[in-house]
Amino acid sequence: MILRAATSWYLRLRSTLEKYKYTPYTIAEYLRKTGARIGENCFIVPTDLGTEPYLIRIGNHVAIAADVAFGTHDGGVWVLRDESPDLQVFGPIIIGDNCIIGQRAILLPNIRIGPNSVVAAGSVVISDVPPNTIVMGVPARPFGSLDKYREKCLERWAQQRPPDCVLEPGETWWNSRHFTANRERLRRHLLALFRDQLQ
């Protein structure tokens, strides 16, 4: 029994240490080894996709924030185990291309999140999310369309973008070689922009 416990502890430690080799841009490599099907160009902060990662499919260009929980089985069947001791219920989680799943969202079994969708932070997704939709809440419900969200974000960024921000052709805000300088420009600009509200 002691040998079994030591072996189990060693395997968990080895798995944990292996995960440290990856970044949110590369963790998909590790998660694919666990059976998850993950597309290209993803940004995934969690290093664990739950107990049945092979029931998870993630599309291309998907961002998943910290502390997102993936539940591919229905734990509620616990209350039925007196009459059916081996009862288990499972379901896949499918995330389409170009989605973002916000921090601490909970994704339950048998859901499909359509392409170009946003799941707001802290939401609990219990049913399918249509394409091009923003959902939020507990349970998650449609809040708006991606088109409306796009308009609002572009309008806000036109006001909030530092005028002296430097992005060279092919660069994004996050991969710019001017990242540190741009962050400082952004900080100064936002402090000036929101000065009255922050007082």
CATH topology of domain 23-145: UDP N-Acetylglucosamine Acyltransferase; domain 1 (2.160.10)
pLDDT at 11 over 80: no
Q: What is the pTM of this model?
A: 0.84
pLDDT band at 163 (very low <50, low <70, confident <90, very high): confident
pLDDT band of 180, cuts 50, 70, 90: confident
Contact between residue 113 and residue 125 where contact means Cβ atoms under 8 Å apart: yes
Using alpha carbons, list the distances in angstroms from residue 50 to 84, 87, 132, 138. Answer: 24, 19, 26, 20
d(CA 110, CA 93): 6
Which residue has better confidence, 14 or 59? 59
Mean pLDDT (whole number) for 140-146:
91
- In tens, the pLDDT along 74-99 reads 989 999 989 998 999 999 999 999 99
- pLDDT tens digit sequence for 97-138: 999 999 999 999 999 999 999 999 999 999 999 999 999 999
For the beta sheet containing 63-64, the strands, ordered from the edge strand earlier in sequence to the opposite edge, are 43-44, 63-64, 100-101, 118-119, 133-136, 141-145
